[in-house]
Amino acid sequence: MSQVANRIIKNTGWLYVKMSITMFISLWVTRLILLSLGASDFGIYAIVGGAISMLGFFNGALSSATVRFMAYAEGQSDQNKKTTIFNVCSVLHLCIAAIMVLVLLVAALIFFNGVLNIPPGRMNAAYVVYGSLVSGVFFDISRVPYDSVVNAHEHMKFYAILGIVESLLKLAVAFACVYTSKDKLVVYGVLMAVIPLVSYFATRGFCKRRYSECVFAPRIYWDKKNMKEMLSFASWNFTTSMASMISFYGSGIVLNHFFGTLLNAAYGIANQLNGQLMTFSSNMLKAVIPVITKSEGSGQRTAMIHRSTIACKYSYLILAIFAIPFILEMNFILRIWLKEVPEWAVLFSQLTLVQSLISQMTIAYVASIHAEGNISLFSKVRSVFNLITIVLIVLFFALGSSPVMLFVVSIGWTGIVGAVSMVYFMKRNCGMEYGTFIRNLLFPVLGVTSCSILIGIIPMMFMEASFIRLITTSCLSLIGFCIGYWLLATNDDEKNVIRNVVKLLYAKIIRSR
């Protein structure tokens, strides 16, 4: 097994361990906090936190730029450049953190004077919560350069351990709220602000001990050219992200305007279900994106194209292995989960998963295009694509179309046409041949999907909807998936990697007995 494949598998494994633990703790914490605070105070915390998260959107764009530049420098193995980029990133993020604090404090004058609907008797508690969250934002933003260093070095084990520790701290905060005799909302807000502080110093201490580039000396390590490149990259990335956010949230607003809140309930359920399933593929991408960027940084363009294509394929397949049984048995699954299933929720959930599957087919190509660096035209096109989606949805709804048209537009325009444009930019910017996408990605995943659906659908022809049929459909779908995957979606190298992983796991099981 190659060292790269071995690293990706180990890192993905650590992220899955983190996900399995933190998801369980998160559900427990939410239940404890809701019972402790009550619906009203819990709602206040959600409203105040939501207001801050909207204003902190810019940090996400700059964070991805920081990760890209750190991983690229790591691929070049230029120690001085790595240290310079770290210092530029650190100064930029400290400035942004300070600016964001000032913006949020000024925004409080607006939020607490007519925008946020908070009961008069709970205003003081809301002020404390808001201030606590603002301090948390400062440390979250300041931590980004250190996170980027960890990401560039692919040390996902640290991410996993820190994520589990953060979840345990949140659980401890929840228990503190249950047993405290003081104002529970204030206690919750203040203690939750401590967690970003702990995470910041833990990440900072880890990086300073382990990585030599983490030396904060901006007077020595400073480069205006790197700063301009990062700001330019971040601004284009921000434009794309903003257009994507407008498209996503705007779709819900348009749906509400034309069809009312019941359709929003169905839309919300579809997105919540989709978000949970997407975590399986997103963890794999988190482990592989630094590898893609470092490949470009080290001048290995062919390897970068190959690795991003493989990442797209496995991102699709990881989602598909869960999504296909859900699509087939969505009606029964939602009835088990929700008892009362809103109208359109089944169809919306199925179409949302189809849309996500299509997006996974090119999702890792974004990392390659970003790694190449020439993203201005790419960002403009993606932004226009996202904004046109909203225009088309409004137009069709105004003409009396069904709510399903929202997904027809999203799948047809943003999904399929957007995927075609992504492949075009991989050809234009990175030199990927179209045949690479068709042979190594498109045909294999379509073949695996067809096998999984054709075999998985058999029980639905002969059995009534039941838990037994759900299990049977899932098992047969998995069998079809495995057959299609082994025969159609793997080459000899991938088969060898799988055999080696199975042997390694089997040997560990034998030794543990």
Note whether residue 213 is domain-resident.
yes
Last residue of a domain, one of 169, 191, 222: 222
**C-beta of residue 353 within 8 angstroms of C-beta of residue 415:** no
Would you say residue 228 lies in a domain? no
Q: Note whether 346 and 474 are same-domain residues.
A: yes
Indicate whether 315 and 204 sit together in one domain: no
- Tell me, yes or no, whether 206 and 245 share the same domain: no
Both 166 and 306 in one domain: the answer is: no
DSSP letters along 41-96, please?
HHHHHHHHHHHHHHHTHHHHHHHHHHHHHHHHHHHHT-HHHHHHHHHHHHHHHHHH
Place of tokens 């974004």: 366
Cα 361 from Cα 359, distance rounded (Å): 5
Q: Is residue 233 part of a domain?
A: no
Domain assignment of residue 490, given as a range: 238-513
What's the domain count of the chain? 2
Residues 191 and 249 in one domain: no
Residues 200 and 322 in one domain: no
Q: Encode the chain (513 residues) as per-residue pLDDT tens digits.
A: 456 666 777 777 777 778 778 777 776 776 677 677 776 666 666 666 655 655 555 556 666 777 788 788 777 777 888 888 888 888 888 888 888 888 888 877 776 776 556 677 777 877 888 888 888 888 888 888 898 888 888 788 888 888 889 889 988 988 888 787 788 888 888 888 888 899 999 999 999 998 888 888 877 777 777 778 777 877 787 788 778 777 877 787 788 778 876 777 787 778 878 877 887 777 778 788 888 888 888 888 999 999 999 999 999 999 999 999 999 999 998 888 777 777 888 999 999 999 999 999 999 999 899 888 888 899 899 888 888 988 999 999 999 888 889 999 989 998 899 899 999 999 999 999 999 999 999 999 999 999 999 999 999 998 898 999 999 999 999 999 999 999 998 888 778 877 877 777 777 677 666
Q: Both 366 and 417 in a single domain?
A: yes
Residues 160 and 301 in one domain: no
Is 232 domain-assigned? Answer: no
Phi and psi angles of residue 78, each rounded to the nearest 5 degrees, phi first: -105, 100
Q: Which of 161, 196, 222 is the last residue of a domain?
A: 222
Residues 364 and 482 in one domain: yes
Q: Tell me: do 196 and 345 sit in the same domain.
A: no
Segments of 321-477 assigned E as strands: none
Query: What is the rounded distance in angstroms from the CA atom of residue 10 to the CA atom of residue 20?
Result: 15
Q: Are 405 and 397 in contact (CB under 8 A)?
A: yes
12 and 154 housed in the same domain: yes
Are the C-beta atoms of 88 and 223 separated by less than 8 Å?
yes
Q: Please give the model's pTM, rounded to 2 decimal places.
A: 0.79
Would residue 231 count as lying in a domain?
Answer: no
Amino acid at site 239: T
For residue 230, is it within any domain?
no
CB 416 within 8 A of CB 361: no
Q: Report yes or no on 229 lying in a domain.
A: no
> Which of helix, strand or coil describes residue 378?
helix
Q: What gap in Å lies between CA 370 and CA 329, rounded to an integer?
A: 38
Exposed, middle or buried, 144 (CB in 10 Å: 0-12/13-18/19+)? buried
| Residue 38 forms part of a structural domain | yes
Residue that is last in its domain, among 222, 252, 271: 222
Q: Domain check: are 244 and 204 in the same one?
A: no
